[in-house]
Structure 1
Amino acid sequence: MRNSASNPKKRNKFIAGILAAGVAGAALSAGVVSNTPAVLAAPVTVDTPQQNFGFADVVSKVSPAVVSVRVTQDVKPTADMGRGGFASPFDNLPEDHPLRRFFDIPGQGQTPPGMAPHRGNRQAIGQGSGFFISDDGYVVTNNHVVENGSTFTIVMDDGTEYDAKLIGTDERTDLALLKVDAPNTKFTYVEFGDDNAARVGDWVVAVGNPFGLGGSVTAGIISARGRDIGAGPYDDFLQIDAAVNRGNSGGPAFGLDGKVIGVNTAIFSPSGGNVGIAFAIPASVAKDVVASLRQDGTVERGWLGVQIGQVTEDIAEAVGLSEAEGAIVTMPDNETPASKAGIQTGDVITAVDGETVTGPRELARKIANYRPGSTVEITVWRDNASKTVDVTLGDLSQLDEAASIDAPRSNGSPVNPSSLSGYGITLTPSEDGKGVVVTDVDPDSSAAEKGFQAGDTIVAVNGSEVADQQDVSAAIENASKNGRRAALFQLRNGDGQNRFVALPIEKS
């Protein structure tokens, strides 16, 4: 008998038979026999129009509207003026300003090698960017570009220079408005677009004056939205990866339709060079602020008068909210619109005029959009129920004048400390009888994990004021009986600042 392997045709049939038998055997061994092919989910596909892509058309249209802003300022006599007398607008920022960490560059401010220190009175020159928003000469830039400036010069992309005057500034959003008076001259200008329609991944084109080099163009994408960089209470920056450097501040970030979707204001850079992380003020914010500056030379904002914190999952559970949204009131200031309307410590603000509040910064922005004297409906969650309170807003300029609560403090030694069983904290009554002082925290306890610290005063638990450990234990037990998995502690530190911490209830 001849071996089938010696005949190619028979060998192929033989192999095919083995393979078929193997597949069938595998199906039988699995307990399933099926002739139906497996159905796989369709992969993600994106229909992208094919085109000769570039930014030249956008740049050619918008560039004439983008300008350099040169600022001179009188400076005090110093023993050392670096950079040959060139000052960056970022140098205007106070040492403790939150934006400092985005702008400081090691070695800057020192006298360059081979140059003698400058002495005596002089004028420093700083440069930034800006853009026209009207044909009669209104220019938008950053507040930190013009801050402390004595004279302002607008330099066009063709080198033409115009004197400008300062119309107004808004430190809280880092925006400023200048005006060029040039009779019989119509300037090319751009308009604000809708940044809310811009998505992460969309193209942006940044035009500005990096390092004093004049009109420079870079491109990138929106890499994130809603960034909080600690610059102020209204942080809501667009993050872009276009190459933005020192001197680009105040310049526009354009969408591909040639409309401004952001005003470049900060970079994150440990070295001082571009690392692909820049922040722009959204057009929706800038548009409203600039309109107020143009009309009144200042910005008026509504003021509620509360200190607020984030609602975490634990806090939501402790107060009976289904979602971790809103802003918890850690302290209503004395004699403020909020306190006069009856808003209390521990209230969770969930809506303003029926619009949901997702967090503290959104609440701050919503209130700021109202003019002083406006009456708004504030929805709060209190005692497991939703309530509405009408509040007539004050003027934010009153903030510095508003009285703050003088929090009780315990400066004496602990008296009769006692341990709160199962929670890893040791308590003692405060000297004035208001609250219970935390004298020790077990570093391995859930209390330490949640941020309890020795010296904190427990003011209330689940909205009930406490004066001793028994009050604390009773409030926790009551929360447990009501089906809560966490108890909400109102803590006050030695500086009089309140915060809320939700501590999981230990089951005995």
Structure 2
Amino acid sequence: MIAPLSGFASGAPDSFADLAEKLLPAVVNVNTTEVVKREQRTIPQIPGLDELFRRYDRGRDKDSEEEERPTTRQSLGSGFVIDPSGIIVTNNHVIDKADEIMIKMHDGREFEAKLIGKDDKLDLAVLKVESDKPLPYVKFGDDSKSRIGDWVLAIGNPYSLGGTITAGIISARNRDINSGPYDKYIQTDASINRGNSGGPMFNLDGEVIGINTAIFSPSGGNIGIGFAIPSNQAQHVIEQIQKFGHARRGRIGIVFQPLTDEFAESLGMEKGQGALVTSVVEGGPADKAGIESDDIIIEYEGKAIKTRNDLPIWVANTPIGKKVKLVVLRKGKRKNLTLVIDELVDEETPDDAPMQPDDQEQDVKSEEVLGMTLENLTEKSRKALRLEDDVEGVLVASVKRNSPAGEKGLRRGDVILSVTQEDVKTIDQVTKRVAELRKKGRKSVLLKIIRRGNTAFVAVQFDPE
């Protein structure tokens, strides 16, 4: 039996009043206005009725013309002052597309704000207001010192009610809610509602340890599950925005998938931890360092990669130009590599044109494997799928819906590049490799596929003999 740790527990403070009085003046309401242009009515091109519609258009009254004028859309959020000169932090989604941003202080003063810069990946924005007097401000704290169960305060502008303070605890840390590649949220049960976005989360020392950003709520109201961007992660981006007008992030030039337990089993590994490289950017840091597709990055600067976002966050926060050490697994063997961090830039989206596999040709060999009908690539199918000349693989001609492959989302037009880290170019190579892995007692195979120019890994379980 474990004895209660009463000697280490600390109860709730008698009151948050002193702390609230100190912090409220630095928290602001953010009011944005966006000019929305309405689409103009078009006259239908109907033979014989052109003049009728022209007369109708000339005869419209002034009220109908007013309806076509641009309208405004307003939204409200929260923010907080981090410098007495008037530097304010909020969420990007609060001010995104705004034509005018107004700041209202707790004492009623109002200022028009200018946008210094924003970052949609971490959902942060930095604003600037001009004031004759220094503004009340708050400081960032070290969120890594906060623990699950610690008391926190959230201050914001829920439902446009103005400065509102709520209290709760840290419910969890490092939450990944699939909102982006850098998810590492602090979860809290402090009441957070619409309008709280961009407001600060404080520890009991009055330091900002998070920026309230999202809620989980099927009904749209508070159910005690809110999420805040950790202060240490936010500070790095805020400093970059203040210095450069945007966030400068590191990159190593790879596309990867998290190594799941299912992937690990198909590779004969015990744990599903690491980053499975699906492709390497030509000429990028990883390419120059010798990283290859199918490598598994397991360590970055001596730290083991355990979650989906570990590697993206660590790389993004590494100074550009710094040399870093990585450990990769290549077909089960460890390799130590060193690369130089490059700057991440926004790249064009991949071609999203739908794939049109060629129709069934005469005398094309086919075979069913794991619920897929496979064919060797032909010149016609390569052209239809817009495959690069150096792409070698086997075409998925069809997939049975309830088969192992169908359940994993494989579909007609996919091209299998490798089977459990062994390249394949023909149907015979696929069937032989699958048979080898089944004989070894594997429960699944790891297929590397290409779809619309993008590569990905899919673990497919063996069907019954």
The normalised TM-score by structure 2 is 0.82
* 8 Å Cα contact 2:355/2:413 also seen in 1: no
Change (3 A) 1:123 1:504: closer
- Out of 431, 449, 460, the position equivalent to 1:491 is 449
- Structure 2: distance between partners of 1:69 and 1:507: 60
Q: State the AA in 1 paired with 2:366.
A: P
Give the aligned partner of residue 185 of structure 2: 237
Q: Does 1:383 align with 2:331?
A: yes
Q: What SS is found at the alignment partner of 2:348?
A: helix
> Which runs of structure 2 are paired with 1:394-433 in the superposition (5 Å)?
394-400=342-348, 410-413=357-360, 415-420=364-369, 423-432=370-379
Q: After TM superposition, list the pairs within 5 Å mapping 1:26-175 onto structure 2.
A: 41-42=1-2, 44=4, 46-47=6-7, 48-49=9-10, 53-77=14-38, 120-175=69-124
Task: Report whether the alignment pairs 1:502 with 2:459.
Answer: yes
Contact 2:30 2:101 in 1 (8 A): yes
Match of 2:155 in 1: 207
CA radius of gyration, larger in: 1
CA deviations 1:214-247 (Å, max 9, x no partner) are 1111222223322333322112222222222222
Give the distance between the partners of 2:360 and 2:150, measured in 1 at CA. 60
Amino acid at match of 1:60: E
Structure 2 Cα separation of the partners of residues 410 and 501 of structure 1: 20
Matched position secondary structure for 2:108: coil
> CA separation of 1:354/1:191 partners in 2, compared to 1, >3 Å: closer, same or farther?
same
Cα distance, 1:121 vs structure 2: 3.5
Task: Describe the shift of the 1:305–1:399 C-alpha distance in structure 2 as closer, same or farther (beyond 3 A).
Answer: farther
Task: Describe the shift of the 1:189–1:258 C-alpha distance in structure 2 as closer, same or farther (beyond 3 A).
Answer: same
Q: Kindly tell me: are residues 119 and 452 of structure 1, through their superposed partners in 2, closer, same or farther at Cα, counting changes over 3 Å?
A: closer
Are residues 59 and 228 of structure 1, via their aligned partners in 2, closer, same or farther at CA, if it must alter by over 3 Å?
same
Mark the runs of 5 or more structure 1 residues left unpaired by the alignment. Answer: 1-40, 80-116
Deviation at 1:254, TM superposition (A): 1.2
CA distance in 1, matches of 2:325, 2:12: 51
Whole-angstrom distance in 2 between the partners of 1:327 and 1:475: 24
CA contact (8 A) 2:83 2:138 kept: yes
What residue number does 1:15 align with? none
Letter in 1 for 2:199: G
Q: How does 1:264-303 map to 2 (within 5 A)?
A: 264-303=212-251
Equivalent residue pairs, number: 427
Deviation at 1:122, TM superposition (A): 4.9
Asked if the contact 1:408–1:496 (Cα under 8 Å) also holds between the matched residues in 2, the reply is no
Inter-partner Cα distance in structure 2 for 1:313 and 1:306: 21
Deviation at 1:398, TM superposition (A): 4.9
Contact 1:220-1:243 at 8 Å conserved across structures: yes
Alpha-carbon contact 1:410-1:430 (below 8 Å) kept: no
Three-state SS of the structure 1 residue aligned to 2:219 is coil
Could you tell me how far apart the structure 2 residues matched to 1:261 and 1:52 are? 19
Contact 1:63 1:215 in 2 (8 A): yes
Report the 3-state secondary structure (helix = DSSP H, G, I; strand = E; otherwise coil) of the residue aligned with 1:314. Answer: helix
Equivalent residue for 2:424, pick from 444, 456, 466: 466
CA RMSD of aligned residues (A): 3.1
- CA distance, structure 1, for counterparts of residue 11 and residue 261 of structure 2: 46
Return closer, same or farther for 1:245/1:444 CA change in 2, 3 Å cut-off: closer
Farther off after superposition, 270-279 or 243-252: 270-279
Distance 1:155 1:224, change over 3 A: same
Instruction: State whether structure 2 residue 171 is matched by structure 1 residue 223.
Output: yes
User: Which aligned pairs between 1:280-359 and structure 2 lie closer than 5 A?
Assistant: 280-359=228-307
Cα–Cα, structure 1 residues 42 and 299, in superposed 2: closer, same or farther, change >3 Å?
closer
Q: Within 1, Cα distance between the matches of 2:97 and 2:113?
A: 15
CA deviation profile, 1:24-50 (whole Å, cap 9, x unmatched): xxxxxxxxxxxxxxxxx3465544346
Asked whether the equivalents of residues 226 and 235 of structure 1 are also in contact (C-alpha less than 8 Å), the reply is yes
Shift of 1:443: 4.9
> Once structures 1 and 2 are overlaid, which stretch shifts more, 127-136 or 386-395?
386-395
Which sections of structure 2, spanning at least 5 residues, go unmatched? 41-65, 383-391
| Aligned-partner Cα distance in 2 for 1:365–1:143 | 19
Deviations 1:320-367, CA, capped at 9 Å, x for gaps: 434210111112234433334332221111122222222332111111
Equivalent AA in structure 2 for residue 173 of structure 1? L
What is the CA distance between 1:486 and its match in structure 2? 4.3
- CA distance in structure 1 between the partners assigned to 2:162 and 2:459 by the alignment: 54
Q: Distance in 2 between matches of 1:163 and 1:197?
A: 36
